Structures are given as structure tokens and as C-alpha cells.
Structure 1
Amino acid sequence: MRMFEHPTPMDQAEALAISISNALELAIRVNGWAVLAVSGGRSPVAMFERLRYRPVRWEAVTVTLVDERVVPPDHPDSNAALVRGHLLREAAASAAFIPLIADEQDAAEPEQAVARANRAFRQPDVVVLGMGEDGHTASLFPDAPELQSALSDPAPAYVITHPVAAPHARITLNLAALLAAERAFLSVSGAAKAEVLERALHGPTPELPVSLVISRHRHGFDVFTT
């Protein structure tokens, strides 16, 4: 694991965009394609708006989601809508995109969405993660009833979680899928999250799911902080 501290969020966003684009190009050179899984929320918007201009062979990239809220695609909380609005434009418009919730029916019956995602599952080469103040990453929330199975299943896959303290059920990559990525990037901003990260660095615990990714990832894992 490597850690990179940046003086401002804009510096962090630029550095992340450069590092992600370099990782995608490396995967394309090795495999002929790359699968990029990104997180939602407001935190990655500045990075998306820089990454979309990067000189990546976007036609060889498939973009998908680390996790998604179980809401219709036009809902304000949809991660897919965020990605379409802020990343899949300019140079990145030529990338393929695989959302996790395709329509209203998927939002009403997320089990069918998960089953479809797992039938067509392609292991992401590059994953971009955030972290909550409760130590969750992706939608691996410490209070979710499904957490233990999401952490222990050895097969990379998507699963449904129902976090108690967060709105909406979620579809998320499990821990095995996060660990199988060739490159993983974790973005952390602010004093409160810096304190959670410091605790996560002290050792793995399900009480801070991000700590399990940090401690067990055996490929390239970089943390970008402000």
C-alpha cells in the first residue's frame, strides 16, 4: 500500500485522475481492454471531471459501478446517473457503460439485477473506492445484516446489502471482487475520515470494513488523502 497526501481536494482529484488513467492504459496494453469500477456519491465528481479528458483508449474501456443504490436510474441518488453526467463525456464518452440498475423494474426487484450482473460478471481491473465515517467502503456497511457473507464469500460477485444507517438498499461488489482488482484506489478527504483511516490502518476488523481491503489487498493499492 502507498499513501499520497495532497494539499487541496483539487490536487487530489487531478492526481487520482492521472493515476487511474495510467492504470487503465496499462491494463489495455496487457489485456486489450480494461474494466473500471467506480464509486458514487459527491466525492468523486471532481475526479470524474478530470478523468474524462485523460488520453485513455476509452473505446477499450468498460465502466461499471463498485456499488449502486437500489433506486431508478433517474433518481437523484443514482450512482449511474452521476457517472453518466460527470464521467461519460468528452473523451470518455466512447467507453462502454454497464449500470447495475437498468430500469424501474430492477429498482423494484433488485434480486434480478444482481443475478444479471453476476451472470455477466467481469472482474474489474481497476476499482476506485471511497470511505464513510463509519468505515464502510463500496456498500460494505458495518451494520448491514449481509456483511459477513459479503466479506467471506471467496468468489468475486455482486451482492445486495441493507445498511441500517443509510438510505436505500444497495448492490455492491463483495470483498473478494475488491481484492481481485489489479489496481485499487481509495480516496479519503477531511479530518473526520482521516481519523477513521488511521484506525483502519491499525489492523483488519469487520467493524471498519475498509480495513479489510487495506490489509488484504495484494496488488497495487494506493490511498489518496487531503
Structure 2
Amino acid sequence: MREFEHATLMDQAEALAISVGHALDLAIRVNGWAVLAVSGGRSPVPMFERLRYRPVRWEAVTVTLVDERVVPPDHPDSNGGMVRAHLLREAAASAAFVPLIADADEVAEPARAVARLNQAFRQPDVVVLGMGEDGHTASLFPDAPELQAALSDPRPGYLVTHPAAAPHVRVTLNLAALLGAERTFLAVAGEEKGKVLDRAKEGPAPALPVSILLANQRRGFDIFRA
């Protein structure tokens, strides 16, 4: 596990875009293709707006999401909508995209989305994660009733979670899928999140789900701080 400090959010976004691009290049050289799973919210937008210009063989890349809010694809809170608006443009427009919530039927019954995704599951090669001040990553929230199942299931895939302190039901990758990536990038910004990350590095505790990921990762894992 490596850590990189950046003076500004823009420096972090630029460095992360370069590193993710290199990781995709390597996966494509090895496999002929690459699966990139990204996080949502507003934090990744500056990185996406740089990554989409990187000289990657985007036609060999499938982009999907680490997690998604169970909302229609055109909802303002849709992570998929954010990826379409900020990443799947310019050079990256030729990438394939697998949304986690495809239509109104999956909004009404998110188990349908999970069944679709798990039936055609492809292990992400490169994963880009964020972290909340409560220590969640992806949609593995400490207060979600499904957290233990997400942490303990050895089969990589997706599941539905119901975080009490966050809006919307979620669909998320489980821990096994996150650990299966060849390269994982965790972006953390701000003093408060930095303190949470420092606590998480002290050892695994379900109260800080990101700590479980840190304690169990065995592949390429880079932390980008700002």
C-alpha cells in the first residue's frame, strides 16, 4: 500500500487521472480489455474531467460503478448520470458502460438490478474509491443491515444495502469484488476524512468499513490524499 500527498484537489485529480490511465493501459496489455469501476458523488468529477482525455484504448474499456443510488438514470442523484456527463466524453466516449440501475423497473425492485449484474459479473481490474467521514467506502455503510453480508460473502458481486444515515437505497460491490481488483485507488480529501483514514489504518473494525478493506488488500493499492 502506497500513499501520495497532494497540495490541492486539482493536483490530486491530475495525479489520480494519470495513474488510473496507466493502470488501464497495463490491464489492456495483459488481457486485451479492462473493466474500470468508479465511485460517484461530486468528488470524482475533477478526476473524470482529466481522465477522459487520457490516451487510453477506450474502445477496450468497460466502465461501471462501484455503487449506485437506487434512483432513475436521469435523477440528479444518479451516479450513472454523473459518469455519463463527466467521464464518458471526448476520448472516453468510445468506452462501453454498464449502469447499475438501468430503468424504472430496477428502481422499483433493485433486486432485479443485482440479479442482472451478478449474472453477467465481470471482475473490475481497476477500482476508484472514495470514503465518507463515517468510514464507509462504496456503499458499505457502518449502519447498513447488510454490512456483514457484504463483508463476509466470498463470492465477488453486487448486493443491495439500506444505509440509515444516507439518502436512497444503494446497490454496491461487496468486499470480495473490491479486493479482487488488480489496482485500487482510494481518494481522500480534507482534514476530517484524513483523520478517519488514519484511524482506519490502525486496524480492521466494522465501525469503519474502509478499515476492513485496508486490512485485507493484497494487490496494488494506492491512497491519494489532498
TM-score computed with the length of structure 2 as normaliser: 1.00
2: distance between equivalents of 1:47 and 1:211? 24
Q: Quick one: distance in 2 between partners of 1:81 and 1:93?
A: 14
Question: Partner letter of residue 135 of structure 2?
Answer: G
Letter in 1 for 2:208: L
Q: Which residue of 1 aligns with 2:49?
A: 49
Q: What amino acid is the match of 1:188?
A: V
Partner of 1:93: helix, strand, or coil? helix
Q: Give the root-mean-square deviation of aligned CA atoms.
A: 0.4
**CA shift for structure 1 position 104:** 1.1
Q: How far off is 1:214 after superposition?
A: 1.0
Alignment of 1:57-136 (within 5 A): 57-136=57-136
- State the 1:105 CA deviation: 1.2
1:7 shift after superposition: 0.2
Query: Which digits, 9 at most, give the CA deviation of each residue in 1:130-184, with x for residues without a partner?
Result: 0000000000000000000000000101000000000000000000000010000
Please list the CA deviations of residues 59-86 of structure 1 after superposition, one character each: whole Å capped at 9, or x if unmatched.
Answer: 0000000000000000000000000000
Could you report, residue by residue, the CA deviation over 1:66-121 in whole angstroms, capped at 9, with x for unpaired residues? 00000000000000000000000000000000001011111111010110000010
Q: Distance in 1 between matches of 2:217 and 2:19?
A: 18
Deviations 1:176-219 (A, max 9, x none): 00001000000000011000001001001111000111111100
Please tell me the residue identity of whatever aligns with 1:15.
A
Percent identical: 77
What is the CA–CA distance in structure 2 between the aligned matches of 1:108 and 1:134, rounded to whole Å? 28
Residue 208 of structure 2 is aligned to residue 222 of structure 1: no
Structure 1 residue 21 displacement after superposition: 0.3
Q: Residue type matched to 2:48 in 1?
A: F
Structure 2 partner of 1:178: 178
Does 1:193 find its partner at 2:193? yes
How far off its partner does 1:5 sit? 0.3
Tell me, what secondary structure is at the counterpart of 1:155?
coil
Counterparts of 2:21 and 2:182 in 1: how far apart (Å)? Answer: 14
Amino acid paired to 1:24: L
User: C-alpha separation between the residues in 2 aligned to 1:104 and 1:149?
Assistant: 26
CA distance in structure 2 between the aligned counterparts of 1:149 and 1:104, rounded to whole angstroms: 26
Instruction: Name the CA distance, whole Å, in 2 between partners of 1:206 and 1:20.
Output: 28
Q: How many matched pairs? A: 226
Partner of 2:20 in structure 1? 20
Q: Which runs of 5+ in 1 are unaligned?
A: none
Q: After the TM superposition, list the runs of 4 or more consecutive aligned residues in structure 1 that deviate by more than 4 angstroms.
A: none
Distance (Å, rounded) in 2 between the aligned partners of 1:93 and 1:157: 26
5+ long unaligned stretches in structure 2: none
Q: Secondary structure at the match of 1:68?
A: strand
Matched residues in 1 for 2:206 and 2:126: separation?
Answer: 23
